[in-house]
Chain A
Amino acid sequence: MKIFVCIKQVPDTETKVKISADGKSLETQNIKWVMNPYDEYAVEEAIKIRDAQPGSQIFVVSLGPKKRTVESLRTALAMGADEAIAIDSAEFLDPLLSAQALSLVIQMAGGFDIILAGKLSIDTNSSSVPQMLAQYLKIPHVSVVSKIQLQDKKLTAERDVEGGTKEVVEISLPCVISANKGLNTPRYASLPGIMKAKKKTIKEIEWASLDLSPASWNLIKLELPAEKPAGQMLSGSAQEQVSALVQKLRNEAKVLS
């Protein structure tokens, strides 16, 4: 079984961001980069599938400035992936271009059975690339998956939808699966794993070599969200605070009908 995992590197959730003077990019020097949390579930699941299917191999592919993305690729290798490919690209690519680039690189690597990715990357928040990738590769997919079961050439996946409901989907291979929290508990890289990962060569692919069309969206600007007016702390006894709150919600905020 040949398994691909698409991973992205994103700013750590604690990162305080600063917008550069050009208004279109972030100041990167203080950003701590980590593997997108949902991609960790994808890597873990790939390892589980490989270990249950002797002779399988895991390729991790990542998109973004290779200078830094190689770190997350090494993390995935240290967790247990076999090979890594870095596609060198700009920041904030639109999802269509990302998916197209991934599809080309995966096809170049010759053959695939299962492709895993996170359901969402927490930086651009599009939840689109896995579904798009499946269309470019002309194969089926299931998104937002919290459980899978693999039997021969068929896979059963549980997809999480609104209100705690789950859709049980049967899907034929090859296919794309996007991972939700709950799919598994990602392992930490072991020390020998980290040592081994350091020695591996990461294959690099230049963006220009993919010869893709211009972006499907133009980034006009980045801004900080508008500051909310300062909040009010209520005072008095518990009963007084509660009465004041309900009055304010009704008369000032007008959110009670």
Chain B
Amino acid sequence: MNSFLIFLETHSGQLKKSSLELLSWTQAQEGETNCVIFGSPAVDVSVLSAYGVKKCFQFKNTAFDLYQSELYLESLKGLCAEIKPTTVLASASSLTKDLFPMLAVHQNSSLASDVTQIQLQNGKLEVKKPFLAGKVVATLQMARQPQMALVRPNQITWVTGQKNSSPTVLVEKQKPDVKLLAEVKSVIRSSQSKLDLTEASVVVSGGRGLKDAKNFSLLEPLALVLGATLGASRAVVDAGWVPHNMQVGQTGKTVAPALYIAVGISGAIQHLAGMSGSKYIVAINNDPNAPIFQKASYGIVGDLFEILPLLTQEFKKVLEG
């Protein structure tokens, strides 16, 4: 029988949408689903019950408030030994991309990270995974159990829980004793409170067409109305207008939001590599031959300095009016 273990993550005390996406998938599969969560957020059991989750294991100690990789690893190893899942899923994040490769070694299992589709074939996990920054899509079958995958956010359609099963049992787990050889001593938080680029469902990115560092702020009112996270091309990151963590592309972040708005970006192949998986792409550029238009769902040829305020205004009218 399939036994799923879903690794849940929270943001400001709420389950992340990407975690609910995984539960949206498991609720449509045969088998048992359990969850694991680290840290001390209050878990809303009714949400999990609606997805048919049997048990939710919580490692609640404040020691888990910081991501200590060795401590998380020991805890998950213990849990896997106890409940013996056949499939372990998490959404791809900084934390899971660090943790799951470690776990895969100890479970002698299979791991595919950063996948865009998952499917069970006679109990075997088959995934689609972009290679070469999305120029090729590989279909891979996991050959060992437990089979594990890290799924990119915004790929599985999120549906609300539809199972009418008994309430999820919350099980509190003890912290294992681990001597930390690598220890997080402090965290330097940036002032950015927005969702990370990789998780945002709307991204507004700016490029060299903005002409000057100070003009980058012209994107902010637009991002604000749309609840978007700001991104950038490498040209403006290299010019020092914005930090590298905002760079979208082959040597920056890979994003796949529902809506990606590229403002004054030419659409170099390395930039496209990071965003062509977006569901809808809007390009604003004054050069009708800019390559970005070949990837755009909707293109506006025009001067961004004229378009931006009009567009912000129009979205405001529609969204707030």
Residues of A within 8 A of B (CB): 10-11, 13-17, 19, 26, 37-38, 92, 94-96, 99, 122-129, 131-132, 134-136, 139-144, 156, 158, 160-172, 175, 181-182, 214-225, 228, 231-234, 238-239, 241-243, 245-246, 248-250, 253, 255-256
Q: How far is the CB of A19 from chain B (nearest CB, A)?
A: 7
A163 CA to B199 CA in the complex, in Å? Answer: 10
A131-B101, A164-B192 as given contacts; A140 in contact with B141, CB under 8 Å: no
A188 CA to B74 CA in the complex, in Å? Answer: 42
Instruction: Mark contacts of B130-152 with chain A using CB atoms, 8 A cut-off: 1 yes-contact digit, 0 otherwise.
Output: 11111111111111100000000
Within 8 Å CB of B14, what residues of A? Answer: none
Within 8 Å CB of A161, what residues of B? Answer: 67, 94-95
A128 CA to B126 CA in the complex, in Å? Answer: 19
The answer to whether B143 touches A215, judged by C-beta atoms less than 8 angstroms apart, is yes
What would 4 more interface pairs be, CB under 8 Å, given A99-B105, A220-B140? A162-B199, A164-B243, A216-B143, A222-B136
Is B194's beta carbon under 8 Å from chain A?
yes
The answer to whether B310 touches A144, judged by C-beta atoms less than 8 angstroms apart, is no
From A125, A127, A239, B133 is in contact (CB under 8 Å) with: A125
Instruction: Mark contacts of B287-321 with chain A using CB atoms, 8 A cut-off: 1 yes-contact digit, 0 otherwise.
Output: 01000011111111111001100110011001100
30 contacts between A and B (CB under 8 A): A92-B138, A96-B105, A125-B113, A128-B111, A131-B98, A135-B105, A162-B94, A162-B196, A163-B190, A163-B195, A164-B192, A165-B188, A168-B187, A217-B140, A217-B141, A217-B142, A220-B140, A222-B138, A228-B297, A231-B299, A233-B301, A245-B300, A248-B298, A249-B280, A249-B282, A253-B297, A255-B258, A255-B259, A255-B280, A256-B318
A256 CA to B311 CA in the complex, in Å? Answer: 14
Shortest Cβ distance from A136 into B: residue: B105
A168-B188, A222-B136, A249-B282 as given contacts; A140 in contact with B181, CB under 8 Å: yes
A71 CA to B193 CA in the complex, in Å? Answer: 44
Shortest Cβ distance from B181 into A: residue: A140
From B97, B250, B311, A245 is in contact (CB under 8 Å) with: B311
Residues of B within 8 A of A (CB): 66-67, 69-70, 93-95, 97-98, 100-102, 104-106, 109-114, 126, 129-144, 181-190, 192-196, 198-199, 202, 243-245, 250-251, 254, 258-259, 269-270, 273, 276, 279-282, 288, 293-303, 306-307, 310-311, 314-315, 318-319
Within 8 Å CB of B100, what residues of A? Answer: 128
The answer to whether A95 touches B143, judged by C-beta atoms less than 8 angstroms apart, is no
The answer to whether A122 touches B136, judged by C-beta atoms less than 8 angstroms apart, is no
Within 8 Å CB of A128, what residues of B? Answer: 97, 100-101, 104, 111, 113
A125 CA to B192 CA in the complex, in Å? Answer: 26
The answer to whether B131 touches A223, judged by C-beta atoms less than 8 angstroms apart, is no
Q: How far is the CB of B27 from chain A (nearest CB, A)?
A: 23
Q: How far is the CB of B71 from chain A (nearest CB, A)?
A: 12
From B143, B244, B282, A217 is in contact (CB under 8 Å) with: B143
A144 CA to B142 CA in the complex, in Å? Answer: 26
Q: How far is the CB of A231 from chain B (nearest CB, A)?
A: 4
Within 8 Å CB of B294, what residues of A? Answer: 231
A13-B273, A164-B192, A255-B280 as given contacts; A131 in contact with B102, CB under 8 Å: yes
The answer to whether A231 touches B183, judged by C-beta atoms less than 8 angstroms apart, is no
Shortest Cβ distance from A143 into B: residue: B98
The answer to whether A140 touches B184, judged by C-beta atoms less than 8 angstroms apart, is no
The answer to whether A163 touches B245, judged by C-beta atoms less than 8 angstroms apart, is yes
Shortest Cβ distance from B317 into A: residue: A246
The answer to whether A217 touches B259, judged by C-beta atoms less than 8 angstroms apart, is no
Q: How far is the CB of B73 from chain A (nearest CB, A)?
A: 8
A14-B269, A246-B315, A256-B319 as given contacts; A168 in contact with B293, CB under 8 Å: no
